[in-house]
Amino acid sequence: MEIVDFRSDTVTRPTPEMREAMAAAEVGDDVYGEDPTVNALQEKAAEMMGMQAGLLVPTGTMGNLASLLAHCNRGDEVIMGNQAHTFRYEAGGLAALGGVQPHLLTNQPDGTILLEDIRGAIRGDDAHFPVSRLIALENTHNRANGAALSAQYTQSVADLAHEHGMKLHIDGARIFNAAAALGVDVGELTSPADSVTFCLSKGLCAPVGSLICGSKEFIYKAHRARKQLGGGMRQAGIIAAAGLVALEKMVSRLPEDHRRAVELATGLDTIDGVSVEDLNPKSNMVYFKLAGENTLSPEELIKAAKAKGVLFGHAGGGRFRMVTHYWVGDEAVKTAVEMISAVVSRQS
Ligand SMILES: *Cc1c(COP(=O)(O)O)cnc(C)c1O
């Protein structure tokens, strides 16, 4: 039985071209700054983001944490959304390792934080207060169904941060999906910010790796933070080679994943007993619920679909998430709709 895996775009395996590039990669000791492939990847990333410099890190989580450590001192405050990945899913690293306090504001359903909420959260100069150091946004926003934040919104938040002597960091794990969803150059979404983290290992299919980009001064600090966190790798050109293929070949095909998300949503919506949240998915994520007479528990639905070779996740509260990516083509979308239909219609 063929397995079609819609759990996440993190399940993507490297493409044959990536494996070839990895095998042939020129390498050196990156802790000495001597790996030419890592250096090429960092330069390419910085150029695409419209920033001065880049830094390869093993994971997006380390990218966000090293960025926060580079921007903040202990006791400083970072303003972020209450649905932010960094707050919910990064094991409290900012507090545990940085002594940084998150100041949480409500994320709107579109993933933004209201400008007036941010303005109201910025502290004045008073010895009682923590120092408001940083604002962090997420683009695309995972918990907002993969919604993309516009360049204009990002610029407004950056302006607000800079007016108050603060910095803006973007958790852009899926920033290229945001650019594809909005039909803009990725640099328009990142250049207003002071730093960005993005993942090579999600929709871009590389096996490992994320990048941090920002000013030379910021990357200098992030480089030390990466070392502290144990993220200084040696012949990392093996990883960077796949990353270069990701940036050169995989970015421009992301609209295909978004088209398939629409097709998947449309297909699922034809199933009696399935209710799709948004027939026009915001990027590569489709959310649905069981509706009507269904008696399946979330665990039962996932198990029954898995038995038919279709994998997806439970996002909590009876909501299911399916993520499109390179390794699920048109056939996989058809299979998923057929199999979920077979499982659900047996119930009703
Ligand atoms: C995946 C993800 C991360 C972290 O990436 P890892 O490489 O899994 O550590 C950070 N932020 C967002 C929004 C993500 O989706």
Shared domain for 119 and 93, answered yes or no, is yes
Contact predicate 149/175, CB 8 Å: no
Decide which of 191, 221, 250 is a domain's last residue. 250
Residue 294: give its domain's CATH number.
3.90.1150.10
Ligand 1 binding pocket includes 65 (Cβ within 6 Å): no
To test the ligand 1 pocket, which listed residue (138, 171, 201) has its Cβ within 8 A of the most ligand atoms? Answer: 171
- Tokens in use for 312? 């997806």
Say how many domains are in the chain.
2
Shared domain for 152 and 27, answered yes or no, is yes
With a cut of 50, which residues of the chain have pLDDT below it? none
- At residue 347, the pLDDT reads 63
Decide which of 231, 250, 269 is a domain's last residue. 250
- At residue 274, the pLDDT reads 96
What is the CA(48)–ligand 1 centre distance, in A?
Answer: 20
pLDDT digits (tens, 9 = 90+) for 129-161: 999 999 999 999 999 999 999 999 999 999 999
Decide which of 250, 267, 300 is a domain's last residue. 250
Strand order of the sheet with strand 313-316? 274-276, 285-290, 319-323, 313-316
CA angle 307, 313, 318 (to 5 degrees): 105
Contacts of 338 (CB under 8 A, 6+ apart): none
What is the CA(199)–ligand 1 centre distance, in A?
Answer: 7
Closest-CA residue, ligand 1 atom 4, reads: 60
- At residue 348, the pLDDT reads 54
Kindly provide the b/e burial profile for residues 18-33, where b requires at least 16 CB atoms within 10 angstroms of the residue's own CB: beebbeebebbebeee
Ligand 1 binding pocket includes 173 (Cβ within 6 Å): yes
Shared domain for 306 and 230, answered yes or no, is no
Shared domain for 35 and 131, answered yes or no, is yes
Shared domain for 118 and 233, answered yes or no, is yes
Q: What is the DSSP letter of 7?
A: S
Shared domain for 122 and 197, answered yes or no, is yes
Q: State the pairing for strand pair 77-81/132-138.
A: parallel
- Interatomic CA distance for residues 131 and 199, integer angstroms: 29
pTM higher than the cut 0.85: yes
What is the CA(182)–ligand 1 centre distance, in A?
Answer: 21
What is the CA(90)–ligand 1 centre distance, in A?
Answer: 8
Shared domain for 89 and 195, answered yes or no, is yes
Q: Give phi and psi for 78, each to the nearest 5.
A: -115, 125
Instruction: Report the nearest atom of ligand 1 relative to the CA of 58.
Output: 7
Shared domain for 246 and 277, answered yes or no, is no
What is the CA(338)–ligand 1 centre distance, in A?
Answer: 31
Shared domain for 208 and 331, answered yes or no, is no
Shared domain for 96 and 245, answered yes or no, is yes
- Write out the residue range of the structural domain in which residue 58 sits: 13-250
